[in-house]
Amino acid sequence: MNLLRNALLASVAFAATAGTTSAIAAEKLVVVTSFPKTLTTPFEQKFEEMYPDVDVEVVNKSTSSSVKYIQETASSNTSDIFWASAPDAFEVLKSDNLLQQSGVSNENIPPDVAGYPMNDPDGFYNGFAAAGYGIMYNERYLDAKGLEPAMQWVDLAAPEYHGHVGMSAPSRSGTTHLTVEAVLQGDGWEDGWAKWKFIAGNFATVTERSFGVPDGVNSGQFGLGIVIDFFGLASKASGFPVDFVYPETTAIVPANVGVIANAPNPDTAKDFIAFLLSVEGQELLYRPEIRRLPVNIDAYANAPENFPNPFNGTIKASVNFDVEKSGARYNVVNSLFDVMITYRMDDLREAVRAVQLAEEKLGDGSNAEAQALIDEARALIAEMPIDEATSMDPDFNAIFKTKRKKAEDVVEGRQAEVEQDWDAQIVANYAKAKELANKAASML
Amino acid sequence: MTHQSAGAAPARRRLTDVLFPKLSGTVLAAIFIATLLFGFLILPVAKVIYVAFVDPQTGGLTLQNFGDFFSSALFRESFFNSFYVSAMSVVLASVFALPLAYITSRFEFSGSMLIQSLGFIPLIMPPFVGAIAMQLLFGRNGTFNLLLANMGINIPFMEGLNGVILVQSVHYFPFILINLSASLRNIDRSMEESAQNLGAHGLRLFRRVVFPLAAPGYLAGASLVFIKVFDDLGTPLLLNVNNMLAPQAYLRISSIGISDPMGYVISFILVAFSVFSLWASFLLMRGKDYATTQKGGGGLSRRKLSTKENIAAYSIVVLILLLVLSPHIALALLAFGTIWSYSPLPDGYTLENFSTMFSQSGVYIKNTLVYAGLAALIDVILATAIAYIVLRTKIIGRQWLDYMATAALAVPGVVLGIGYLRTFNDLEVPLVGKPLASWWVIIMVALTIRRLPYALRACTAALQQVSISLEEAAESLGATRSSTIRRIVVPLMSGGILAGFVTSFATAAVELSATIMLVSTDQDAPLAYGIYLFMQSPSGRGAGAALGIFAVIIVAAGTLLAQYIIDRDRKKRTGER
């Protein structure tokens, strides 16, 4: 036993000293981030080069863990900067008073990117890079299945892609939420949701992490994925047989950075943000393993060839994105997506497949009776448990909020109760739609 | 007490007896362990989970949320799915484990060493990469299905609940194998011989004598598999199966901005159900005596195998090992491969992933060895003490030590992580100068608590097989209780303690869900966190797999070393005797 004991003792002593050695540099900047090392390391190195007496320490966590971590450690905070994509994560921290205004700005950065505001209007966080959504596809997979790549969102609903598409849930990924919301705003509440449901009917899976989508396309578990551009292009750059296209209209969103309230080193934190926004910082974004769109217009002077530029229309956003609207119904949209799509994937898939097969059999639509049944089935699948007005109703949204603002606030209804009602309606509708579509098919 | 007069001596004695009762060592140990479990498990978890009892409308206390749980079709379905998957995983895991355990303990089989050294490896399933590796092999467009596609066949190994059952039973079957083998080795040969003298042979002997005697080990393993699968969220999440309880809890707890109380309600139900399953397995064992008095007889008598039987045994063993090691085979392919996309095997092979990995991961590897090693060591010490207290003393409420420790199985890592941040963030550690929540020790504590149930089941099963008459004999010969424990009980339990150390160490080394909440600097991060970092970018997949393979190798080496040391100790002891 002695050997084991000595080895353990030695390693304990070693670990105890290792913990203290990192505190030598004069000033430490702690950055909590959800970005991968491939993105953070170049910025970390360049910044340390410019500020030799600063030691940047990157703490990497998933976005949701980061938010919980900052919330729970607020009472004795040791972190300076929060650096992540999803604007909603920043919104949560801002509303909990866990961010501080940095006062940093750069005049070469426009106030919005493709309709989406670049910075927090109250100055609690800044956009430092932009990214657009698109379709990533595996070339080997599509070749083997004899499919053409889909070029537009609506193509993904075509019957030939049944079972070949992957996407992440908006409740799991803030950027996915923006894509969902962009379609809802562009096509309207009812039509937008119908579009999503018929695309989702072709899903192979709804992944739990946003990175699960590029991963699934890379390994060939499914052929096409709805992903943010840098995932697709970085996969291609690492040698996977994949490619990425921007649909004609897409959602473009900024990734953000902000200073945490009570940061131990607020001034260095501001220097870091100023560096991110400067041309020197922005040009790091062109690296193939990072591959995000700079927000500083001056940085585009040295852009690689054919690099998309959201400021000159090389890529366009579908709608003038209404942030207020998106924020007002944020949790309702996420919950609806999960109840109607994520948790009822099999039911939805079967219903949509039945409709697709019936339509294929129907062909040119010479059978009016069958056509009517199919139309009814489509309407049942598309039917929404709530209308747009309800989705915007602040009282209704309060059911899904984390905290009541005041103790005397009374909320009618509970999330679980509401979701159960939705679920019952959805399951019945999908089952009925499948039955109608099968009936239509049997008439042909 | 100075103000009391000397005349009140009897009263004073009574008072000191109340204040400082003369506690035996075991009672003190029980109190110490209970405090530990309360401070590092019950309190932090309660701080998080009490939300389950809060009315979201008024902020008052309520049971309404539980009503909502049972009136939701989705949650009822999730509950059923979790139950179904757990039960099927126990069945499938038993199918893997029983032949291996039977062959090694019944026959002179030269492959026994192979089973002993490879059998626990499936437990070391690194996060993310394990499931990806399984998908690449068995997924809808994995190796097997791509090869079968020419014949127009597609077997849905990995679709929905099937996938979860397959991965879970491959992952956790060593719990049954290790505990059952330890039990079988402890069976007294004279039992078997008496049975044979009385005319029992073959299967009847196995069914009526061997299996009942080995039952504590089997049940310990099976209940661990059942509870673990019921509570595990990593596998269903990575396979994107949402309609089970643990993932439902996780999704609702970790969504940004939403704090649906249902996530906590589900966590509470997971904990309660795990304790219930444990209690049910106690009921099964109640009133049965599995202890035998003789030890060191080498277990069942072993029969030599004929050449033909040997070939048959080897084919069964190799087949099972190939199946349960398939995630690791795929992981190795991923680590040594270049690009692997929609093809049966990688396009080419390279060592580049390993050089990328080594250049970035040194500190993670060291941290993992320290954390997992310490956690497993503390686990077996606590587990031995708890097992002894529960089975050998009459301390009131002793069962609750077991229930409390086992409840840790059901606490999602995220909940424990958040609980620690919430409880220990304002607790400054003297001399270190930072909050306990961001000191590296807290990661080790989290691992200790999360892996304690594994060690506990193994140690309890081991102690159940030790006859109390041996201890009584020692005590009647004048040995004190502590020396009986040290010289008699612990040595006789050493097989079970080793099994506990192995399972705790191997699984702690790849834990991620609680540690990712608690890592506050890169310097303190363990290996699983390193894998997580790699797996966030497409170019990191190979390097992440390489780190996963490396984790498997060092954990396996560490375990074999521990096994070697304990075996040597045991041989030395028995040699002296």
Residue B19 lies in a domain: no
Q: Are B417 and B518 in contact (CB under 8 A)?
A: yes
pLDDT for A113 beyond 70: yes
- How many C-beta neighbours within 10 Å does residue A390 have? 15
Residue B509 phi, psi (nearest 5): -65, -20
Q: Are strands A224-228 and A165-168 parallel, antiparallel or unpaired?
A: parallel
User: How many residues comprise chain B?
Assistant: 577
Nearest to B542 by CA among B365, B352, B341: B352
Give the residue with greater pLDDT, A122 vs B257. Answer: A122
| Structural Rg of chain B based on CA atoms | 25
Enumerate the β-bridge partners of residue B303: B107
Using only C-alpha atoms, what is the Rg of chain A? 24
- Contact indicator for B419, B44 with CB cutoff of 8 Å: yes
Long-range contact list for B71-77, CB < 8 A, 24+ apart?
A: B71/A417, B71/A420, B72/A416, B72/A419, B72/A420, B72/A423, B72/B262, B73/A420, B73/A423, B73/A424, B73/A427, B74/A339, B74/A343, B74/A419, B74/A420, B74/A423, B74/B243, B74/B248, B75/B245, B75/B248, B75/B262, B75/B266, B77/B243
- Nearest CA among B494, B460, B473 for reference residue B574: B494
In terms of Cβ atoms closer than 10 Å to its own Cβ (0-12, 13-18, 19+), residue B362 is exposed
Cβ contacts of residue B477 below 8 Å, gap of 6+? none
Q: Does B256 touch chain A (CB under 8 A)?
A: yes
Cβ–Cβ < 8 Å for A102, A275:
no
Q: Is residue B5 part of a domain?
A: no
Task: Assess if residue B471 is contained within a domain.
Answer: yes
How many residue contacts between A and B have a Cβ separation below 8 Å? 233
The answer to whether residues B178 and B225 touch, using CB atoms and an 8 Å cutoff, is no
Cβ proximity of B383 and B455 under 8 Å: yes
What CA–CA distances, in Å, run from B186 to A217, B298, B411?
51, 7, 33
- Is residue B256 included in any domain, yes or no? yes
Q: What is the pLDDT along chain B (577 residues), one digit of tens a residue?
A: 344 444 455 665 566 665 555 667 788 889 999 999 999 999 999 988 888 888 777 778 888 889 888 888 989 999 999 999 999 999 999 999 988 988 887 788 877 777 877 888 888 888 777 778 888 888 888 898 898 888 888 888 888 898 899 989 998 999 899 888 878 877 777 777 787 888 777 777 777 777 788 888 888 889 889 988 888 877 888 788 888 988 888 888 777 655 678 888 888 888 888 888 878 887 877 656 666 665 544 566 777 878 888 888 889 999 999 988 999 999 999 999 998 988 889 999 999 889 888 888 888 888 998 999 999 999 999 999 999 999 888 888 888 898 889 888 878 787 888 889 888 888 888 877 778 888 889 999 999 999 999 899 888 888 887 888 888 888 888 888 888 888 888 888 887 888 888 888 888 888 887 887 788 887 888 888 888 888 888 888 888 999 999 888 888 887 777 777 766 766 665 554 4
**Three-point CA angle B60, B66, B68, nearest 5°:** 100
Identify the CATH number of the domain in which residue B515 sits. 1.10.3720.10
- Please tell me what DSSP assigns to residue B8: G
Task: Determine, yes or no, domain membership for B370.
Answer: yes
In a domain, B516, yes or no: yes
Q: CA-CA distance, B304 to B308, in Å (whole number)?
A: 11
Beta strands in A220-304 (DSSP E): 224-228, 242-245, 252-260, 293-294
Query: Is-contact A21 A15, C-beta < 8 A?
Result: no
Chain B residues with CB inside 8 Å of A399's CB? 56
Over chain A, what is the mean pLDDT? 86
CB atoms closer than 10 angstroms to residue B497: 25
**Residue B1: per-residue pLDDT:** 39
Of residues B237, B539, B565, nearest to A4 (C-beta): B565
The candidate with the shortest Cα–Cα distance to B365, out of B373, A6, B504, B513, is B373
C-alpha span between A150 and A165 (Å, rounded)? 10
Which chain B positions have a beta carbon within 8 Å of A343's beta carbon? 74, 242-243
A207 CB within 8 Å of a chain B CB: yes
| DSSP category for residue B7 | G
Is the CB of B490 inside 8 Å of chain A's CB atoms? Answer: no
pLDDT of residue A378: 95
Question: Are A204 and A166 a contacting pair, CB within 8 Å?
Answer: yes
Of A60, A342, A411, the CB nearest to B57: A411
- Indicate left, alpha or beta for B209 from its phi (over 0: left) and psi (-120 to 50: alpha): alpha
Any A CB within 8 A of B338 CB: yes
For B134, the domain range is 24-51+72-286+299-351+363-576
Is B356 a member of any domain?
Answer: no
Cβ pair B338, B345 in contact under 8 A: no
Rounded to a whole number, what is the distance in Å from the CA of A367 to chain B's nearest CA? Answer: 34
Whole-complex ipTM: 0.80
Token digits of residue B299: 């277990």
Q: In chain B, how many domains are there?
A: 1
What's the pLDDT score for residue B507? 84
Structure tokens at A327: 């924020």
Q: Does domain A24-131+253-302 have CATH number 3.50.50.60?
A: no
Dihedral angle of Cα A298, A302, A305, A307, to the nearest 10 degrees: -40
Residue-range domain boundaries for chain A: 24-131+253-302, 132-251+323-443
Chain A, window 80-109: residues with a beta carbon less than 8 angstroms from a chain B beta carbon: 86, 88-89, 91-92
| pLDDT computed for residue A19 by the predictor | 43
Q: Looking at residue B540, what DSSP letter applies? A: G
The CATH number of the domain covering residues in A132-251+323-443? 3.40.190.10
CA angle at A365 for the pair A361 and A371, rounded to the nearest 5°: 85
A443 or A142, higher pLDDT: A142
Q: In angstroms, rounded to a whole number, what is the distance separating the alpha carbons of residues B288 and B284?
A: 9
Whether residue A18 has pLDDT greater than 50? no
How many C-beta atoms lie closer than 10 Å to residue A76's C-beta? 14
Other beta carbons within 10 Å of B186:
29
Q: Does residue A158 or residue B308 have the better pLDDT? A: A158
**Residues of chain A with C-beta less than 8 angstroms from the C-beta of B257:** 88, 91-92, 330-331, 402
The tokens for B569 are 């100790």
> Cα separations (Å) of A243 from A223, A236, B15, B338, B422?
11, 6, 80, 18, 44
Q: Which pLDDT score is estimated for B58?
A: 73
For residue A186, what are its two tokens?
A: 């562009």
Q: Which two tokens stand for residue B2?
A: 């100075």
Q: How confident is the model at residue A394 (pLDDT cuts 50, 70, 90)?
A: confident
Provide, as residue numbers in chain B, all residues whose Cβ is less than 8 Å from the Cβ of A65.
254, 516-517
Quick check: A6 pLDDT over 60? no
